[in-house]
Chain A
Amino acid sequence: MRAVLQSEISVVRVAVFAEMAWLERRPELGLLCRAARDDGNRITPATVQAALPGLSDAGARNVIAWCALLGLCDRHGGLTALGEDVAETDEAPVPEQGIYDLWLAQHPLFGARALAAERLASTRDGRFEMIKQLPFAPDLGTTFRSVVEPRERFVVRALPSANGQRHCMARVAATTCRLRWTLDFGAGREQWQLDGAIDATQGGHRPFRHEPETDGLDLWRLAETWGHGPLAAFGRWQAAEQRLAVAFDGLTDAEQDAFRKTLKLQRVDVPGKGSYDGVTLEGVPIGPATAPDAARWALANFVRDLSRRPAYRSRSEVRRTFADVVEDTPLEPSRPTLPAHDTLIDATWHRDRPELFWSLAAPVDLAPRAVAPEELGPLTIGAPAVAATSPAPTGAIRVPYRGDWSMRRLVDRLLDGHRPAKVLLCDRYVRGDGNLGALKLLVQAVRAVEATAAFEVWTGDEETDAAQIRALTGTAPRLYRDVFGRSAPHDRYFLVRPIGQSAFGWQMSNSPLDARPGAPGAGPDAPLRWRDLLAYRVADDVGPAMRQWLNGGAR
């Protein structure tokens, strides 16, 4: 979420008698302030004498008094913010008095500040009735940086006046100035900046852009404030989730996909920092307002995902796609449901996109093995595994959605009581921290059964980090193109060469590397978060390369 608050700033140009100080290069003071910074943020005679050897105690005290006069320290030698600045920049204020031309601006965000200052020569042209009340005084003692000459810094030390009445001679000001305050809620950053054009003494205008400054505003507190204010017209602000719960109707496809919405607010208030009109609040996190909204939203996103990547999808992959679309999104808490296969293909949303209909219907109609009724039924995201009403097919292993199986449990089933001499994982994608973490668990689970078992990986991913896989398995992976040529498998396979037994394997509808631990550092016995995985026992009905591996060939 991001907003840019803008406001036009009125600039006053006055000629005033003032005590000013321009920051000039004073290395000795910088040295002194740095020595003080390293000595408890205090300028003491010892500090002065250390920095300026040979100085007497009286001299040292005079120096401290001078520093105090300059505002580098207080009367007790404590280093001020200005003193710290001198320590950083070696620039120290050099006081002076006179008539100055000041450009003054005022706003709740930055107070009253002088945008620029110029020395004026005294003349006799003025007339007494030209003297006016000073509209507002700049913050005294604050170091300002000129917006005209960014290298020039100055301090308005005092506005000497009689009886506390501050007067000035108003000058014609044609300066324009705008405040832009950028609030980036997601990044937790905000900064404001002034820009515009200043009327120069020599005539004409000089554009300026002030160096950005931050205010230190608590952005999410501000968002919550707005949630009860201008955002309430759009939805319900959920402070804990930091998003706006909105109705599904009216959302664009992009908003549905991104779970973000751009809102235009007529007026917003920043407590203590002013009010701003016509604010555009970009990327407001949104989520469903109700469960029905979530269901419709989930299905809409699911359909769009299918449309964006048209491909034949097995029912298992359809379920995974739906989970991908919903999980870890604002929709998940509402537990939306993927309709049953029949409901899905009988729907009308694919009436004009027959390829979408076939992408769902054909893989079920033409599945080599009958798809289980549970798999064809509806899938509720986030719901715990439902006990299968039909047993897995003979020789098959089914890891249900959210089945909480541990990797060890899966490996035990895959090994089927054998001690593996060597196992082979054929998986198209073995990359990314999640998958590699799951691979690590898989290797650990296999070696928990047989510590000396060799573990091979064949993968179709050209960008695989071979070194990382080798570090996990002890064997460098082989690429599909080297093993299968142009006949790379689609499914995942887990092949086993047991010790003293005939080899066998499993054809899997999903990768075991798709499992994710519930918490970091989980071991092979820890329950994992699974999506559907169905493994069928195979032997001689695999392709030639895997058949060769099963028969003891290959590497």
Chain B
Amino acid sequence: MTNGPIRRIERERVEDRRDSVLPTAWIEDAAPPRAAERRSWLLQERAEAPPAPVALREGAVAPPAPERDGPVLVMLGADAGPALAELIAHAEAGARVYALVPPGWGTADKRLLACPKVLVRRVPEVPVSGVHRTGAAQLQSGPWTLRLDAAQTEAFRMVFLRLFWHEATEEAWTGGRQLAWRAAAERPFDVPEVPPSAPVRLVPPSEAGLDTERASLHLATLPLPDAAPRRLWVRAGGEHHERLARLVRDGAEVVWDELGLPDLAARDDGGTLLLPGSGDRLRIVLTAAQAGEAARLLAGPARWTFRVGARLGDHARDGVRLWLPGETAARAVERQQQIAVADVRAASIRVMEETAPATWPPPQPLALTVRYRWTVVPPLVPAGAAEDALHARWRAVDQEWASRLDRLWEALKSAEKHRGSLGRTFSRLVSALLGFERTQREALAEVARLRKERPSALGPAAAPPMFARLAELEAQAAKLQNDLEDAERKAREDEEREKQQRAWQARIEAAKTDLGARREALAAAEARLAGVRAELTTHDEAPEPEDKKARKDRAARRKKLSDEQTRAEKDVAALGQEIASLGKRIEEPFVFQPPASAAARKPGNRFVPAATTARAAPAVPHEALPEVGELRSRGQQRYLVIRDWETLAAGEAAAARFPADLVSEDA
């Protein structure tokens, strides 16, 4: 067990593989030096100086002079360098030289172009590079030169003739600045087909095989034989290991070294050499002497050996390379292989220290030791797992708890302010407010205590009593608020009543004062009215003058008096109404009018929140929250997520309670 956060754990394991057995493998090791051997037929370029040419029929040594008279036949196939050099030497000596070249062959060699008598023909494929001159011929294949005996020389000549006359497509001759190719002219005769018994002949791919019995076999292009030869040289690689293993089990020694030889089967008494080609291939039946040299060459040491069931520890030396089946290259033994195993998910957090992969990935076959490394991953909350609804429900309970306490606290605080302002406004309430202050102080203390509690922390059993107590406090705060308001309202009404009485009294006094003046003004107005009326009567009773101007003046006078009468009547009427009104005001009794604002006030408009009345207790979950971690769920599955090793035990208990899987979060 460990401490701190729950994280992934890195683990490793080391395995020793020295005793491992490789089913099949090519093993390259430093080969012992090849014993020096003087060969006469199979010569290697640079490595062996060619002996003086031998007159094959008589065995006598002839001078190595270029041909001057007899024609020289040259094939310029692959590895044509030596043959081309010999061609030029013979041609410069004056010999008539006939050359076969592959399609597209050309030359800018001024020495060759300057030679007077070289006839070159292109054929679809030149099977080999070689030179035939009077009584002797030799072929080149890679670094090797094979001297032919008399029968082979003649057969090679026939192969040359058959290609030259029957297969040529274009021809050109030297003597100019360049070779001017033209279509090959028709042959002058038929060249007989080279009989199957000929020691040198072209064979179709279907006949391109070698006799492997008791032979040392060197394969360059041919497929593996079905029967086991004595010794098989085949290019080391990652293929055909099963067939090679079968040949080894059948008694063949399978080796390889880069000798540069073509396909070759050699026994002490004969052999066959098969040169490469895309179509027909040149097959050379070796003489006993040639085959003997080839057999001794193939019996020599080789860098590569094909092994079946090799113990790995036996080939762990420096410099040794192995080529395993299916691989594209050889490689050395690897001292230790590091293998990173895939992360392993622990079945539970508690067993993470002991968790290992169920299976071990195989190491590479050439690993001498192998070190596995892997990471143990704790059980993790799965993607998509969301917070469990229990948390939401408890959070709602806690939020309601907190909000109600907050509102209660604000109400009590508001009541305190209200109480202060009342005290400052209404001195008559001072004694009553003292009682309110004590009640309020006790309620605030209780709220402060409750704010430290959370229903979710106390669980489903303790939460309902807490809400019941909260409801009591809310009721108490509401009552306090109401009492304060009642006291305030009563004080305000008293104050308003006194104010209204003072105003009523002032109005009566003013009316009484104004009534005397108005009565005097009425008397004056009535007098003026009577005078006007009288004057008007007089006017009306006076006779109509004759004079037009006097009549006109009299009418004007009449008009003026009429207007004055009307104006005086209005004044009298108005003053009479004022006097009546003033009398009514003086006699009016005092009536208290409660202040309209206080009557119209509604609870919602108060600046202080209304005290809460008793409320129903919230829906408290029947499950308590986990003691540690976070409960999540996906579908019907619940997960308890913990993050520290210290909470493991509590987490296990909590997880068992729900039930839920105990998991961690990936860091």
A interface residues (Cβ-Cβ under 8 A, vs B): 310-314, 317, 354-355, 357-359, 361-363, 365-368, 489-491, 507, 509, 536, 538, 540-543
- B287 → A minimal CB distance (Å): 23
> Is B190's CB within 8 Å of the partner chain A?
yes
> Is B53's CB within 8 Å of the partner chain A?
no
Cβ–Cβ contact B186 & A312, under 8 A: yes
Q: Apart from A361-B71, A367-B189, what are 16 other A-B pairs with CB-CB below 8 Å?
A: A311-B186, A311-B188, A313-B188, A314-B188, A314-B189, A361-B117, A366-B160, A366-B161, A368-B191, A368-B192, A490-B188, A507-B190, A540-B196, A541-B192, A541-B195, A543-B193
Answer whether A354 and B175 are a contact pair too, CB < 8 Å, given A366-B161, A368-B189, A540-B195: yes
Cβ–Cβ contact B98 & A310, under 8 A: no
The listed residue (B160, B173, B190) touching A490 by CB distance below 8 A is B190
Q: Which of B175, B188, B191: most chain A Cβ within 10 A?
A: B188
Which B residues touch A312, using CB under 8 A? Answer: 185-188
- A350 → B minimal CB distance (Å): 12
> Is B165's CB within 8 Å of the partner chain A?
yes
Q: Which of B158, B185, B196: most chain A Cβ within 10 A?
A: B185
- A415 → B minimal CB distance (Å): 21
> Is B41's CB within 8 Å of the partner chain A?
no
**What are 11 contact pairs spanning A and B, CB under 8 A?**
A311-B188, A314-B189, A354-B173, A358-B119, A366-B160, A368-B158, A490-B189, A536-B192, A540-B193, A541-B192, A541-B193
- CB-CB contacts below 8 Å: B163-198 with A: 164-165, 173, 175, 185-196
The listed residue (A357, A490, A538) touching B187 by CB distance below 8 A is A490
Taken together as a complex, chains A and B put the C-alpha atoms of A365 and B165 apart, in Å, by: 12
Cβ–Cβ contact B189 & A362, under 8 A: no
B interface residues (Cβ-Cβ under 8 A, vs A): 70-71, 73, 96, 98, 117, 119, 158, 160-161, 164-165, 173, 175, 185-196
Which B residues touch A354, using CB under 8 A? Answer: 173, 175
Cβ–Cβ contact A542 & B186, under 8 A: no
* CB-CB nearest in chain A for B192: A541
Answer whether A358 and B173 are a contact pair too, CB < 8 Å, given A365-B98, A542-B193: yes
Taken together as a complex, chains A and B put the C-alpha atoms of A543 and B161 apart, in Å, by: 15
Cβ–Cβ contact B189 & A491, under 8 A: yes
* CB-CB nearest in chain A for B191: A368
Which B residues touch A359, using CB under 8 A? Answer: 185
* CB-CB nearest in chain A for B175: A354
- A495 → B minimal CB distance (Å): 14
Cβ–Cβ contact B161 & A368, under 8 A: yes
Taken together as a complex, chains A and B put the C-alpha atoms of A367 and B158 apart, in Å, by: 9
Taken together as a complex, chains A and B put the C-alpha atoms of A354 and B187 apart, in Å, by: 17
* CB-CB nearest in chain A for B166: A487
Taken together as a complex, chains A and B put the C-alpha atoms of A358 and B171 apart, in Å, by: 11
Cβ–Cβ contact A366 & B185, under 8 A: no
Which B residues touch A538, using CB under 8 A? Answer: 192
Which A residues touch B158, using CB under 8 A? Answer: 368
* CB-CB nearest in chain A for B173: A354
The listed residue (A357, A363, A365) touching B189 by CB distance below 8 A is A363
Taken together as a complex, chains A and B put the C-alpha atoms of A317 and B188 apart, in Å, by: 8
Which B residues touch A358, using CB under 8 A? Answer: 119, 173
Cβ–Cβ contact A362 & B98, under 8 A: yes
Which B residues touch A361, using CB under 8 A? Answer: 71, 96, 117
Which B residues touch A310, using CB under 8 A? Answer: 185
A-B contact count (CB 8 A): 70
Cβ–Cβ contact B186 & A362, under 8 A: no
Which A residues touch B196, using CB under 8 A? Answer: 540
Taken together as a complex, chains A and B put the C-alpha atoms of A365 and B188 apart, in Å, by: 12
Cβ–Cβ contact B165 & A366, under 8 A: yes
Which A residues touch B173, using CB under 8 A? Answer: 354-355, 358
Taken together as a complex, chains A and B put the C-alpha atoms of A196 and B539 apart, in Å, by: 182
- B271 → A minimal CB distance (Å): 25
Which B residues touch A355, using CB under 8 A? Answer: 173, 185
Which A residues touch B190, using CB under 8 A? Answer: 489-491, 507, 543
- A288 → B minimal CB distance (Å): 30
- B546 → A minimal CB distance (Å): 171
Taken together as a complex, chains A and B put the C-alpha atoms of A313 and B187 apart, in Å, by: 8
* CB-CB nearest in chain B for A359: B185
- B98 → A minimal CB distance (Å): 6
- B383 → A minimal CB distance (Å): 75
The 10 closest A-B pairs by CB, nearest first: A365-B71, A541-B192, A312-B188, A363-B188, A314-B188, A491-B190, A368-B191, A541-B193, A490-B190, A489-B190
Taken together as a complex, chains A and B put the C-alpha atoms of A312 and B191 apart, in Å, by: 14
Answer whether A366 and B98 are a contact pair too, CB < 8 Å, given A312-B185, A490-B186, A490-B187: yes
Which B residues touch A311, using CB under 8 A? Answer: 185-186, 188
Taken together as a complex, chains A and B put the C-alpha atoms of A475 and B352 apart, in Å, by: 101
Answer whether A509 and B193 are a contact pair too, CB < 8 Å, given A362-B98, A365-B96: no
Which B residues touch A507, using CB under 8 A? Answer: 190, 192
Cβ–Cβ contact A362 & B119, under 8 A: yes
Taken together as a complex, chains A and B put the C-alpha atoms of A91 and B193 apart, in Å, by: 82
Which A residues touch B70, using CB under 8 A? Answer: 365
- B207 → A minimal CB distance (Å): 15
Which B residues touch A357, using CB under 8 A? Answer: 117
* CB-CB nearest in chain A for B186: A311
Which B residues touch A509, using CB under 8 A? Answer: 189
Which B residues touch A541, using CB under 8 A? Answer: 192-195
* CB-CB nearest in chain B for A538: B192
* CB-CB nearest in chain A for B71: A365
Taken together as a complex, chains A and B put the C-alpha atoms of A366 and B190 apart, in Å, by: 11
- B504 → A minimal CB distance (Å): 149
Taken together as a complex, chains A and B put the C-alpha atoms of A311 and B182 apart, in Å, by: 13
Q: Which of A310, A358, A540, A543: most chain B Cβ within 10 A?
A: A358
Taken together as a complex, chains A and B put the C-alpha atoms of A368 and B156 apart, in Å, by: 11
Which A residues touch B194, using CB under 8 A? Answer: 541
Taken together as a complex, chains A and B put the C-alpha atoms of A490 and B357 apart, in Å, by: 81
Which A residues touch B160, using CB under 8 A? Answer: 366
Taken together as a complex, chains A and B put the C-alpha atoms of A365 and B117 apart, in Å, by: 12
Which A residues touch B96, using CB under 8 A? Answer: 361, 365
Taken together as a complex, chains A and B put the C-alpha atoms of A500 and B196 apart, in Å, by: 25
Cβ–Cβ contact A366 & B164, under 8 A: yes
- B598 → A minimal CB distance (Å): 132
Which B residues touch A542, using CB under 8 A? Answer: 192-193
Taken together as a complex, chains A and B put the C-alpha atoms of A81 and B521 apart, in Å, by: 203
Which A residues touch B119, using CB under 8 A? Answer: 358, 362
* CB-CB nearest in chain A for B95: A365
* CB-CB nearest in chain B for A544: B193
- A141 → B minimal CB distance (Å): 72
Which B residues touch A540, using CB under 8 A? Answer: 193, 195-196
Taken together as a complex, chains A and B put the C-alpha atoms of A439 and B193 apart, in Å, by: 28
Taken together as a complex, chains A and B put the C-alpha atoms of A357 and B165 apart, in Å, by: 17
Taken together as a complex, chains A and B put the C-alpha atoms of A483 and B48 apart, in Å, by: 52
Which A residues touch B192, using CB under 8 A? Answer: 368, 507, 536, 538, 541-542
* CB-CB nearest in chain A for B165: A366
- A508 → B minimal CB distance (Å): 10
Q: Which of A311, A312, A314, A363: most chain B Cβ within 10 A?
A: A312
- B661 → A minimal CB distance (Å): 84
Which A residues touch B117, using CB under 8 A? Answer: 357, 361
* CB-CB nearest in chain B for A489: B190
Which A residues touch B161, using CB under 8 A? Answer: 366-368
* CB-CB nearest in chain B for A316: B189
Taken together as a complex, chains A and B put the C-alpha atoms of A541 and B160 apart, in Å, by: 15
Taken together as a complex, chains A and B put the C-alpha atoms of A216 and B158 apart, in Å, by: 68
Which A residues touch B186, using CB under 8 A? Answer: 311-312, 490
- B307 → A minimal CB distance (Å): 47
- A414 → B minimal CB distance (Å): 17
* CB-CB nearest in chain A for B160: A366
Q: Which of A311, A366, A368: most chain B Cβ within 10 A?
A: A366
- A369 → B minimal CB distance (Å): 9
* CB-CB nearest in chain B for A345: B96
Which B residues touch A543, using CB under 8 A? Answer: 190, 193
* CB-CB nearest in chain B for A363: B188
Taken together as a complex, chains A and B put the C-alpha atoms of A491 and B188 apart, in Å, by: 8
Taken together as a complex, chains A and B put the C-alpha atoms of A95 and B527 apart, in Å, by: 203
